[in-house]
Amino acid sequence: MRFRVKLALGSVIALVLGLIVSLPLLFPNLQLTTRIEIDVDVVYAYFDVPDFGSNITGLWKNFSEPQDYYSISYFIVLNITNPSDSIASVSEFEAAVAPEILVQNGTELLGSKKLALQSSKSNSEFAVSMQNPIIHDVRITTWLPGWSQYWSPHESRLIGLTGMVDIWNIAYQETLANGTMYLYGEAEGRPVGGGAQTRGFSLNHVQLQKMGRESLYNAILAENQIFRIDGLDVHIDTRP
């Protein structure tokens, strides 16, 4: 009996030694159980169809088949909040605009009923599908001069994504000409010091305000306010 006890003890010591050796691998993975939450909302979307034939602006673009393409400049603002009690590192931002967007979040289907009917249920935990997207802007950035990727606990910040794209006429007709569209915003981050990657997203079906060649969705600015753009960060100032 004493032999068996000693044998068991020796085996346990060897096993514990094995565990100790794997600690450098185990510890960062155990930290993955730490999670933060990220809330995202698309609060502002501006679209403009620049006049590339204008003599005033001097812009000119040669489309071989002009009726098939539109150039669109856009500015989309995401309101990103860290509702957690720990500091979050958020460095991946995404915005998409399309006439039909469907988000599959586990078993839940959000957004376009048309795409929901077409979709075959997959096993994926999270998937975004869209039809004729006019904008799909993804930014992965950990370092920009003067910009911080860290969100303090319960901090909200506005992130602006801007650019210019050429889109097909059919996508233009279905969204900007029509004035209704889906706005999708997403941000990903993790707790500072290690932890699981977390995704926050929002999907809104919105009606745009049309002002000539410009279109606008605004859920944040009051009449006396304007945006001040500072790299990726966007601040709200009072109009001078």
Partner 1 sequence: MPEDEELEGTTLKVYLYMVKEGKPVGPRDVMRGAFLSSPSVAYRHLQKLETLGFVLRNAHGDYVLKEKVNIGGHLWIGRNLVPRLIFYSFFFIGILSAETVIIAVRLLVHEPLQTDFVFLCIITIIATVLFFSEGVVSFLKLKRQTNSGTESRQGS
Q: Which stretch binds partner 1 (CB under 8 A): 6-14, 89-97, 132-140, 211-219?
A: 6-14
127 binding partner 1? (CB under 8 A) = no
Name residue 57's amino acid.
Answer: T
Q: How far is the CB of 49 from partner 1 (least distance, A)?
A: 40
Residue closer to partner 1, measured from CB, 6 or 205: 6
Strands 39-48 and 214-218: what pairing?
A: antiparallel
Restricting to residues 164-223, name those near partner 1 by CB under 8 A: 196-197
Nearest Cα neighbor of 75 from 52, 42, 103, 102 is 42
Q: Which stretch binds partner 1 (CB under 8 A): 10-18, 112-120, 142-150, 229-237?
A: 10-18
Q: How far apart are CA 194 and CA 34, in angstroms?
A: 8
37 binding partner 1? (CB under 8 A) = no
C-alpha distance from residue 108 to each of 36, 46, 104, 162 (Å):
21, 29, 6, 30
32 binding partner 1? (CB under 8 A) = yes
Contacts of 78 (CB under 8 A, 6+ apart): 40, 41, 42, 43, 93, 95, 158, 159, 160, 161, 185, 187
Residue closer to partner 1, measured from CB, 33 or 238: 33
Residue closer to partner 1, measured from CB, 23 or 236: 23
Q: How far is the CB of 138 from partner 1 (least distance, A)?
A: 18
Residue closer to partner 1, measured from CB, 185 or 191: 191
236 binding partner 1? (CB under 8 A) = no
Contact status, residue 197 vs residue 203, Cβ threshold 8 Å: no
Q: How far apart are CA 197 and CA 92, in angstroms?
A: 11
Q: How far is the CB of 78 from partner 1 (least distance, A)?
A: 23
Residue closer to partner 1, measured from CB, 25 or 56: 25
Q: How far is the CB of 137 from partner 1 (least distance, A)?
A: 24
Q: Is 24 helix (H, G, I), strand (E, B) or coil?
A: helix
Q: How far apart are CA 20 and CA 181, in angstroms?
A: 55
> What tokens does 80 get?
């990103």
How many residues sit close enough to partner 1 to count as binding (CB under 8 A)? 27
Contact residues for partner 1, defined by CB under 8 A: 2-3, 6-7, 10-12, 14-23, 25-26, 29-30, 32-33, 35, 125, 196-197
